[in-house]
């Protein structure tokens, strides 16, 4: 169950519309390393994880990523206010506009609609936590690339916040991987999969 809070995690206050930039930033909503993929990746992976700590972390980071979807959507909304036809065409936003007007549709910058193929749930904690570490770094690189393409300080302020969160999540997932490996067979992490051979795991959830 979730509860909505009527506030952004970090303020987004963009004064100047910029359809070209919106067409790039949309990848962090619906692209392969975007926030929607992050939220669904973590929230789906958590169900079969072997310990309460990792389930808690995936729940809380996954929920934060939903808030990041809202922040990216707020950036897109504010970058596409009051556009003229000339601005839409000059900014290369016409191909998006013809299908979605200025509605917020999750797609990559190159036009591929959001796909569950962008996320992974292997059902093994070592595999999935390594996936999550890579996902955070890939999202960080995308934000780095956005910062290379943007010269609007209002946009960059929010993007820098989101970029920093990728780094913090990477640190926490590193802790989660180490914690997971500490509870497995130290001579062979791969001797069983605690998400499948769960009866071999020591119980650490209070009843």
Partner 1 sequence: MSDELHSMMKRIQELSFAKLETELYLDMYPECRRALNYHQKLRDQLEVLVTEFENKYGPITTDGVVGDGWNWVKTIWPWQTDVMRGER
Q: Could you tell me which stretch among 75-83, 89-97, 127-135, 183-191 binds partner 1 (CB under 8 A)?
A: 75-83
Question: Least distance from C-beta 74 to partner 1, angstroms?
Answer: 4
**Between 171 and 191, CB nearer to partner 1:** 171
14 binds partner 1 (CB under 8 A): yes
* Residue of 115, 111, 132, 129 lying closest to 181 (CA atoms): 129
Question: Least distance from C-beta 101 to partner 1, angstroms?
Answer: 16
**Between 84 and 191, CB nearer to partner 1:** 84
Bridge partners (DSSP) of residue 107 are 113
Total of residues contacting partner 1 (CB under 8 A) = 31
133 binds partner 1 (CB under 8 A): no
148 binds partner 1 (CB under 8 A): no
Handedness of CA 164, 5, 150, 145 (dihedral sign): positive
Of residues 168-187, which lie at the interface with partner 1 (CB under 8 A)?
A: 168-169, 172, 175-176, 179
Give the one residue of 36, 61, 133, 162 binding partner 1; rule: CB under 8 A. 61
**3-class DSSP assignment, residue 167:** helix
Q: Which two tokens stand for residue 11?
A: 């303020």
Question: Least distance from C-beta 164 to partner 1, angstroms?
Answer: 11
Contact status, residue 54 vs residue 125, Cβ threshold 8 Å: yes
Q: How many residues does the chain have?
A: 207
73 binds partner 1 (CB under 8 A): yes
State the Cα–Cα distance between residues 137 and 144, nearest whole angstrom.
10
State the Cα–Cα distance between residues 91 and 139, nearest whole angstrom.
24
5 binds partner 1 (CB under 8 A): yes
Of residues 150-169, which lie at the interface with partner 1 (CB under 8 A)?
A: 168-169
Residues 6+ apart with CB under 8 A from 91: 18, 19, 20, 22, 23, 83
Give the one residue of 70, 131, 136, 166 binding partner 1; rule: CB under 8 A. 70
* Main-chain dihedrals φ then ψ at residue 107, nearest 5 degrees: -145, 165
Q: Which two tokens stand for residue 59?
A: 């729940």
| Contact positions vs partner 1 (CB under 8 A) | 3-14, 53, 56-57, 60-61, 64, 70, 73-74, 77-78, 81-82, 168-169, 172, 175-176, 179
């Amino acid at each position: 169950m979730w509860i909505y809070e009527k506030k952004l995690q970090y303020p987004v206050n963009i004064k100047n519309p910029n359809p070209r930039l919106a067409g790039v930033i949309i990848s962090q909503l619906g692209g392969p390393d975007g926030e929607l993929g992050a939220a669904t990746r973590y929230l789906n992976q958590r169900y079969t994880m072997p310990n309460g700590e990792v389930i808690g972390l995936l729940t809380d980071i996954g929920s934060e990523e939903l808030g990041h979807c809202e922040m990216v959507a707020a950036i897109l909304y504010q970058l596409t206010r009051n556009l003229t036809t000339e601005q839409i065409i000059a900014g290369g936003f016409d191909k998006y506009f013809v299908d979605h007007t200025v509605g917020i549709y999750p797609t990559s910058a190159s036009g591929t609609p959001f796909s569950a193929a962008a996320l992974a749930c292997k059902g093994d904690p070592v595999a999935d936590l390594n996936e999550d570490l890579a996902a955070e770094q890939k999202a960080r690189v995308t934000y780095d690339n956005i910062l290379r393409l943007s010269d609007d300080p209002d946009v960059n302020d929010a993007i820098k916040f989101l970029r920093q969160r990728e780094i913090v999540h990477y640190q926490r997932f590193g802790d989660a991987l180490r914690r997971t490996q500490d509870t497995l067979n130290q001579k062979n992490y791969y001797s069983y999969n605690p998400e499948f051979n769960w009866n071999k795991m020591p119980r650490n959830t209070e009843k």
